[in-house]
Amino acid sequence: MTLTNNETAREFAERLLAIGAVSLSPDVPFTWASGLHSPIYCDNRVTLSDPQTRDLIADGLASLVRTNFHQVDVVAGTATAGIAHAALAADRLGAPMAYVRSAPKDHGRGNQIEGRIPARSQVVMVEDLISTGGSVLKAAEAVKGEGSTVVGVLALFSYELEKGHCAFEKAGLPLYTLSNYPTLIEVAAESGRITPEQQTTLATWSSDPQAWSDAH
């Protein structure tokens, strides 16, 4: 389940496009690390270099927490992409912050969770980008394994893929994002960044990324 405030989604989509954090190339697709061909490439690390966008992220994530959760004891980011954004949100909320590695360290104390998440804490997870949701849901399992409750997931952007929706529904966790793929495509079209034909191509990709990739 993905829930997004429409006004915030449009504002954040415009910022992502304006600073080049999202690139659209429906005619000459990008190749993701997985080998999948895609007409979109999203690099939310770019947002950290723009103070105005950082403020929008900090305020937006904090607002999502205040609006949607009765109690949050700790804000936990995923390593490494979610760490900075979790820190921004935690700072706005005046809340403790931690981060979760993809696997326990193979040295030292073998920590998977860095920072402190006391047992029985109510935790919100922060990720930068949602495709299938696998990374953040795995991190959430690590938090639950330490005796705390994950109340939900926040992210900057979601591709809104069916596989991701199914994963969050199966996990029973709500997902709240600052913006998403359909909104970004709409904003890009309205601002003249893409043609109507390209908008159609972009919409086709999101309905079946693998089939689109195989055809390109």
131 has binding-site annotation: yes
Nearest one of 214, 108, 205 to 161, comparing CA atoms: 205
130 has binding-site annotation: yes
Mind giving me the DSSP string for 118-179?
-TT-EEEEEEEEESS-HHHHHHHHHHHHTT-EEEEEEEEEE---HHHHHHHHHHT--EEEEE
170 has binding-site annotation: no
141 has binding-site annotation: no
Please answer whether residues 14 and 4 qualify as being in contact, where contact means their C-beta atoms are separated by less than 8 angstroms: no
11 has binding-site annotation: no
110 has binding-site annotation: no
105 has binding-site annotation: yes
133 has binding-site annotation: yes
Q: How many CB atoms lie within 10 A of CB 44?
A: 22
117 has binding-site annotation: no
Task: Report the alpha-carbon distance of residue 160 to residue 122 in Å, rounded.
Answer: 26
120 has binding-site annotation: no
Binding residues: 101, 105, 107, 127-135
Binding residues for 5-phospho-alpha-D-ribose 1-diphosphate: 101, 105, 107, 127-135
Binding residues for orotate: 131
